[in-house]
Structure 1
Amino acid sequence: MSKMLGLGAQFPAFKKSAVVSLEKGKEFYDITSEDHINAGKWMVMFWWPKDFTFVCPTEIAAFNAKSEDFADRDAILIGASTDSEFVHLAWRNNHDDLRGLKFPMLADTSKSLAEELGILEANEKIAYRVTYIVDPQGVIRWVCANDLSVGRNVDEVIRVLDALQTDELCPCNWKAGEETLSV
């Protein structure tokens, strides 16, 4: 595994196909690294290992349930794995919790983006459960990586996004609306 990109690094440039709809003829759309930058928005990209698995849909459904929270924070939410857009589409059609997704499922079939990010598991070459928060200039501001067997906490992603957007010092366990630290 190459070294995982971390804080302060520029998020790699990419153009990938994604599943954005179940409507016939409108299922796929190309997403680029410039989309959130051009829109002046933050990007939250979360990766999962494989479609048609067990922990992954619980996370995807949890992110979907909070999709409006990300939109309210001017953040573009993108889910991603190394499966193809066709596998993503089949999974969405097949799984009750995934049919109504409000965010794209990015397909990194070449594994080039996951490799640039340094998040490929060595043996199976699937992505670890990694979440990135990227600012509107394309700079990685937060990374959280979980082992393959452990789901992440979506509320924590939102809490960190809130903290980053204050542009102030936020103490341990800080939540939006609470006092920040003054210097």
Structure 2
Amino acid sequence: MLTVGDKFPQFALTAVKGGPEGLGGPGVSFTDVTSASDAGQWKIVFFWPKDFTFVCPTEIAAFGKLAGEFADRDAVVYGVSTDSEFVHLNWRLHNDDIRDLPIPMLADIKRELSSALGILDKDAGVPLRATFIVDPHGTIQWASVNGLNVGRNPAEVLRVLDALQTDELCPCNWEKGQAALKPQELFSAAA
């Protein structure tokens, strides 16, 4: 699996647009998203195993609820699975939790991005619940992966993004607005 310090792979995928535009139907709802899209911004890229399942919409909806918080931090959020854009659209139309989803749902139907990242479950052949924070230069700054049955915490992803954007030393459970660690102060206090 690619990890911190690795370049995020190049990709070009079809997506269901976020927001009301994504509910317009085929021909209107779809857009192309590439690794060059949203250049110069932080990217949160999270994967789920399959559409029309049980844990996945809880995570997707939670990321959607935080989309404004991520945008305030100059970050875009992309959700990805190996289902097609048509399946994504149908799922949005028929699931109240994600109908108004403000983030795009990317279709990695050839499994190229999932394979390049090394996040396909060996038995099921679907993406694990992987999350990547990618800096504006395309470098992975944080990577996390859960198994197929355990959902992740999007608020923790936001907290880690906040910490990464300080470019300082942030202690355990650090939250935006708290002081970062100052090694020179710690050493002088110990002397």
Superposed, which structure 2 residues align to 1:77-116 within 5 Å?
A: 77-116=77-116
The aligned counterpart of 1:34 is: 36
Q: Distance in 1 between matches of 2:124 and 2:174?
A: 38
Q: How much does 1:35 deviate?
A: 1.2
- The amino acid across from 1:32 in the alignment is T
The aligned counterpart of 1:56 is: 56
The aligned counterpart of 2:3 is: 6
Q: How much does 1:26 deviate?
A: 1.7
> Where does the alignment leave 5 or more consecutive residues of structure 2 unmatched?
184-191
Q: How much does 1:124 deviate?
A: 1.9
Q: How much does 1:182 deviate?
A: 1.0
Moved over 4 A (4+): none
Q: How much does 1:23 deviate?
A: 1.4
CA deviations on 1:17-69 (whole Å, 9 max, x unpaired) are 00001113321000001113x2x110001100000000000001111111100
* Correspondence 1:179 to 2:176: no
- The amino acid across from 2:44 in the alignment is V
- The amino acid across from 2:4 in the alignment is L
TM-score by length of 1: 0.96
Q: Distance in 2 between matches of 1:154 and 1:12?
A: 22
Percent identity at matched positions?
A: 56
* Correspondence 1:23 to 2:20: no
Q: Distance in 2 between matches of 1:69 and 1:131?
A: 17
Q: Distance in 1 between matches of 2:124 and 2:157?
A: 27
The aligned counterpart of 2:188 is: none
* Aligned residue pairs, count: 178
> Where does the alignment leave 5 or more consecutive residues of structure 1 unmatched?
none
TM-score by length of 2: 0.92
